[in-house]
Structure formats: C-alpha cells, structure tokens
Chains A and B, each alone.
Chain A
Amino acid sequence: EDQVTQSPEALRLQEGESSSLNCSYTVSGLRGLFWYRQDPGKGPEFLFTLYSAGEEKEKERLKATLTKKESFLHITAPKPEDSATYLCAVQARGNFNKFYFGSGTKLNVKP
C-alpha cells in the first residue's frame, strides 16, 4: 500500500539553528515527490517537485533531497517566518491523479 510518513510531528528551532525534516515513502513506482508549506488557515503553497533519487532542489533557505526511500527538507539558518507546517506528498506511476500526503511536520522557529 502506498503511504507517506513524516517526522518529526513537530520541531522547535531557535532562529539560525539548521535542521532537517524527513519524509519516508512507500510507493509502487515513484512518479514524483512534492513538498508544500502550509500556514494556519491557508491552502498549501508549492515548494518543490523531485522526480528521481539523487535529485536536489533549493529555494532560499530550503533544500530538498531525494533517495529511493525518503526525502529530506533541509532548513538552513531558519527565520521565524519559516514557521509553518511542511507537507510531503508522493504520486505513484499507477495513479496519475492521486497524491498521498503525509501528516506534516509543524515547524516553529523562535527568534
């Protein structure tokens, strides 16, 4: 069964304290892995798409990496405005329309 597990559930960081969020997945043929950011009371905001193991993408303080079993979202020198819930989703080759979402990691960056 296709599934996505994110860890930790919640993460508290001091401003400037770098860390990583994990997304482990089990899928019958990965078509794509997606990272989103969601602020309270808002819809998810697209961050990255990763297609194959070894791929990396960066945007400002965020860097996403992908292996055959998991993805990491690295946050370098985070700022309070990076506080949000980060969602990971995968799409399997067998189902073009369905995203399997993880439960998210709630990140709180304190000044």
Chain B
Amino acid sequence: GAVVSQHPSRVICKSGTSVKIECRSLDFQATTMFWYRQFPKQSLMLMATSNEGSKATYEQGVEKDKFLINHASLTLSTLTVTSAHPEDSSFYICSARSRGPLEQYFGPGTRLTVT
C-alpha cells in the first residue's frame, strides 16, 4: 500500500517552454501533497504544500508564478514549471499523505533538464 507515482520520470525541454509533472496516489486518498526539489548530493528542499481543492502554500523563496501547483483531486497533483530556464534543471519529487497518519509517501521523482 501507499504507492505514489510520478510522470514523466525524465523530461528534457528547451529554455522558455513549460513542463508539467503529474503526481498520483495510487491506493489511498491524498489529502495533502508536497513538492520537493533535490540538488545533487543534497537533501530535499520543500517547495510547496497543497491540500485538495485549495491553493498551494509556497515556501519562502519559491516563485509561485513560476512553479504552478494544482491539487485537483484526492489522487492527483500537478507541478508546472513555466518558462523553464537551465537553472530549473533538477530532481523534482512529490509526496503525499492521507488524513490521519503523519508519514509522507514519496514518488519516484522526475529528472528535469532544461537546455
């Protein structure tokens, strides 16, 4: 149980284009979803938290107009990187939590490369 998927696993895009990453909870209802960014050999950096049907809460320093998050249902959240630039290249990981248990379950991650 507690499986989270992400799609795509890898994406390469050109500078100036937008990229959408999907995160799905496959066997539970995710009342809260999280988006993280991870740089090489570093730990996870929380970007934003979203509750189903509500606007996302962004961490300080994260541009909400650049990283658009939509938590449209209890099983789906999307992260759209708008007007991507090479510095946006990174490993993006989502996680999800259901109502009650504290632990977050993570997706497999998406490697974004902006050329």
Contact = CB atoms under 8 A, between A and B. Distances in A.
Interface of A: 31-32, 34, 36, 41-46, 49, 87, 91, 97-99, 101-104
Contacts, number: 51
Interface residues of B, number: 24
Given A87-B44, A99-B46, A43 B32 contact: no
Interface of B: 2, 4, 6, 32, 34, 42-44, 46, 49, 57, 91, 93, 95, 101-109, 111
Contacts of A97: 32, 34, 49, 57
B43 A46 contact: no
A110 B35 CA distance: 34
Contacts of A98: 46, 49
Contacts of A102: 43
A32 B43 contact: no
B43 A104 contact: yes
Given A42-B108, A43-B106, A43-B107, 15 more contacts: A32-B102, A36-B106, A41-B111, A43-B4, A43-B95, A43-B108, A44-B106, A46-B105, A46-B106, A49-B102, A91-B102, A99-B34, A101-B43, A103-B43, A104-B43
